[in-house]
Amino acid sequence: YALNQYLKATGGLFFDTLADRAFCLQYWEAIEKAVDFILQNKNDEINLIHTINSIHEYPAYEHGFEIYANSTCCAGLFGAVEIGEALNKDVEEWREQAELVRQSILERLYSPRRRSFIKCIRVKYKSSDPIGYDAFASSVIDVDAVEYAPAHFGLIKETDLRNIKTVQRINKMLWDEELGGLNRYPELWDRNNGGYGPWLHFTCQLSNHYTAIGDQDMADKYLGWVVEMAHENLLPEHISTVERFEMWLEDYTNAKILRDSKLTMIENIRSHPKWKEGFAYVTMPLIWPHAEFIRAYTNYKHKFYTD
């Protein structure tokens, strides 16, 4: 997916003198291996990609056919097709497989009654046949910021009503009323390293959505919050309160599930200048929110300030 974005940025299929085909050709073998790996993990009964976790790195919540992983893989397959076409490769089978996954995302990971995409179909084994008899067989229907993934990765349009309604649900249920910003999932999951709170890169992603549909007020709300949270022009992974941080630390300490690797993170949170103001800045700085902010701000500027 990322390599295809680079190819498009250098000219794609349209500007032979600019498109960096040589760079893509250099990595063609790696692309083939990546596609093979994705398709090896596709379940033919449901035409979705099976993973043990996804963007939140939380198998208990994401083990199975998860929407962010499937959207990323599907976009990657379509990207591989476009690169292959630019290099005059035979990629028709890849195109067919990508379309199967896309259609299954729109059918299997969308709830018409909820008018929203859902998080995950939990299945322990990719090879379960039928999957309904798998040990984990269940659906995770909790609201999650990554249910925006089909539009984020270009599988549907931002203006698609399924996406509009999904984002409305995310905004209603995950906007943090105390801190502002967008939480990634409900607090009840209690896997909130450093304390529950809003994540800046997901906040930027939804700002990008509001920009795309021309809702400047909501784009301002989301993007403006990210700017307000910056400390010395740097952005953390997510933000919590001191109280939420201490509650998380108590829960993990009492349960004896606090890993030694978290001790440095805890020290950094408590020593950050924002701690004295009542905030826990977790993983500071992190490159991902900076990249999402640049993308969101650039699109915002082009949409609303064309001069």
Alpha-carbon distance values, 130 to 26, 45, 46, 108, 127 (Å): 40, 8, 10, 15, 8
| pLDDT top residue among 72 and 187 | 72
Name the band, by pLDDT with cuts 50, 70 and 90, for residue 94: very high
Mean pLDDT for 298-304 is 96
* pLDDT given for residue 15 in this prediction: 45
Rounded to an integer, what distance in angstroms lies between the CA atom of residue 173 and that of residue 109?
19
Q: Tokens 């349960």, residue?
A: 255
Task: State the pLDDT at residue 12.
Answer: 58
**According to the model, what pLDDT value does residue 61 have?**
83
Residue range(s) in the chain whose domain bears CATH number 1.50.10.10: 1-174
Pairing of strands 42-43, 48-49: antiparallel
Instruction: Assign a CATH topology to domain 1-174.
Output: Glycosyltransferase (1.50.10)
pTM for the model: 0.93
- HSE-CB at 129 with a 13 A cutoff on CA atoms is 6
